[in-house]
Chains A and B, each alone.
Chain A
Amino acid sequence: MFEIFEYDFMQRAFLAGLIIAILASVSGTFVVLRRYSMISETLAHSALVGVAVGLVAGFNPLWMAVIVAICSAWLIEYLRSAFSLYSDAIMAILLSGSLAVAVVIVSLGGAFNNSLFSYLFGSILSVSVEDIYTIAFFGTISLVLLLSFSKELYFVAYDEEVAQTNGIQVRFLNFLLVTVVAIIIALSIRVVGSLLIGALMVIPTIAALQFRVGFLPTVLISLVFAIFSVIFGMTLSFYFSLPSGATIVLSVLGVFIISLIVSKK
């Protein structure tokens, strides 16, 4: 029954998955409340450009993903403030544009293979010790930033203009949030995959919202949902040899459907 924990690669995968579940659900609460779901999806695709460059040029794909995702987040924030009318169109362009760029880079570099597949849909086999260090390092920074500005982010999510008239630096906070989300997404693509990470960020919070409780309980419920989904999904991935991103997202969807049913009673 517990032989799953005897494999080194599974221990690494669970550790990485646990950190990512925490990061994705805490940041996800702000992403959902701030209506940034589309941004997280776009950043996940931009991160692939970093992965592609890393694979082809021989750099650490995770580090490259973090760098490209941050640049992309800043570009989005800039474009959103400059052309606020077309904010969703900007996302759509960046999303498909960066996917195209990533595919071209990978194809030209001859790296279109299983390795890329694992970055698209996640893999429990591929988490290295180095990845754990990278995830823990950037993950800690992101979490500290999120927690230290959580009061402000919450206020801004509820009522941006009143927060502004209270002297809260709304532009700085928007910038901070997209940066942290970019980092977290880039870190997650190892385990969850870039096409599926958006779901792990958003769905646990939406499921938690169904229970209509205050802020802190909502964050905690979404945290529990995310951790459960990651562990359950990885276990499925191990026993059925399926991409872990897909099994994690299916688990979180299951949690969401059960939450819907339970909360409507």
Chain B
Amino acid sequence: MSIKFKVPIFDVKNLSYTASGQEILSNISLEIFNSEYIAIIGPNGGGKTTLVRMLLGLDKPSKGEVKIYGKRLKNFKEWNKIGYVPQRASHVDANFPATVLDIVKMGRTSKRKPFSRESKEDKEAVYDAMLKMDVLDLQDKMVGRLSGGQRQRVMCARALASKPEILILDEPNTGVDMVSQKRFYALLSKLNKEEKITIVFITHDIGVIADDIGRLFTINQKATICNNPKQALSCEDMSKLYGIEAHLVHNHKHGH
């Protein structure tokens, strides 16, 4: 609980990303610590998704460095500790032959040896992940027939099946209704509080989860780190970030 605790899960230094001559991200430095709940917001095209992809090694930075658990990204091997839920759940069409159970089981793939049968531990991890994401009743449903909200929870359950220490979620822009969204946020908060899973969450909808998040990163080419999210949600900051007259719905508790 002493020194080990202080090694950040992600340590990002002076990270830049340039695509076809245009700087998408410039000079980003940030740290993500164990058990944090972090939201990343910013306008479309501001580089949120690119940042996350660089954290995961899916895109290579043009400058700077990412360290995971103190190791340089290319030397990092314990990918099981990291669960990733991408923005587009996948490129896959409605025809993909997978039930919800098939999908969640994928999360165990890298933990199983070739030819091995599913162990008791595998089965429990899959059940547990489905329970936590409240998708047990969907397990025999085909993935192509899920609603946006159900799909989001299923993808999250797949990530949880590998028992990660950190969950990185890139929220879809569309297709998830408000009710499912709130339900999803509630499940995430619970994971963070009860299981101490670190959560990094890219979202457009900061108003809804502002109560729970610990820190807020705003990304629009550059990064601003805010340790008190509720203060950051002033209209002034928002308009700076988005470059427009931001219309912000403050908090769902006030009703509107």
Q: Chain A residues in contact with chain B, CB under 8 A? A: 33, 147-149, 151-152, 154-155, 158-159, 161-168, 208-209, 212-215, 217-218
Task: Determine the residue in chain A with the shortest Cβ distance to B101.
Answer: A214
Other than the given A162-B86, A212-B95, 5 more pairs (CB < 8 A) read A148-B114, A154-B102, A159-B90, A161-B86, A167-B79
User: Which of B134-161 touch A at CB < 8 Å?
Assistant: 142, 144, 158-159
Give complex CA distance A213, B95 in Å.
9
Q: How many residues of B contact A (CB 8 A)?
A: 35
B115 within 8 Å of A (CB atoms): yes
30 CB < 8 A contacts A-B: A33-B96, A148-B114, A149-B114, A151-B112, A152-B109, A155-B106, A155-B109, A158-B90, A158-B98, A158-B103, A159-B86, A159-B90, A159-B91, A161-B58, A161-B86, A162-B84, A162-B159, A163-B109, A165-B57, A165-B84, A166-B107, A166-B110, A167-B77, A167-B79, A168-B110, A209-B97, A213-B142, A214-B97, A214-B98, A214-B102
Cβ B79 vs Cβ A166 within 8 A: yes
Task: Determine the residue in chain A with the shortest Cβ distance to B164.
Answer: A166
Give the interface centre of B78, B82, B90, B106 by most chain A CB atoms within 10 Å. Answer: B106
Least CB distance from A251 to B in Å reads 23
What secondary structure prevails in chain A residues at the interface with B? helix
Interface string of B149-191 (1 = CB under 8 A from A): 0000000001100100000000000000000000000000000
B3 within 8 Å of A (CB atoms): no
Cβ B86 vs Cβ A167 within 8 A: no
Q: Chain B residues in contact with chain A, CB under 8 A? A: 56-58, 77-80, 82, 84-86, 89-92, 95-99, 101-103, 106-107, 109-110, 112, 114-115, 142, 144, 158-159, 162
B57 partner residues in chain A, CB cutoff 8 A: 164-165
What secondary structure prevails in chain B residues at the interface with A? loop
Cβ A212 vs Cβ B115 within 8 A: no
Cβ B97 vs Cβ A165 within 8 A: no
Task: Determine the residue in chain A with the shortest Cβ distance to B96.
Answer: A158
B162 partner residues in chain A, CB cutoff 8 A: 166
Contact status of A168 and B97, CB under 8 A, knowing A149-B114, A158-B90, A162-B86: no
Task: Determine the residue in chain A with the shortest Cβ distance to B113.
Answer: A148
Cβ A218 vs Cβ B109 within 8 A: no
Give complex CA distance A159, B84 in Å.
11
Give complex CA distance A213, B97 in Å.
6
Cβ B80 vs Cβ A167 within 8 A: yes
A212 partner residues in chain B, CB cutoff 8 A: 95, 97, 142, 144
Task: Determine the residue in chain B with the shortest Cβ distance to A219.
Answer: B97
Cβ B115 vs Cβ A148 within 8 A: yes
Least CB distance from A205 to B in Å reads 9
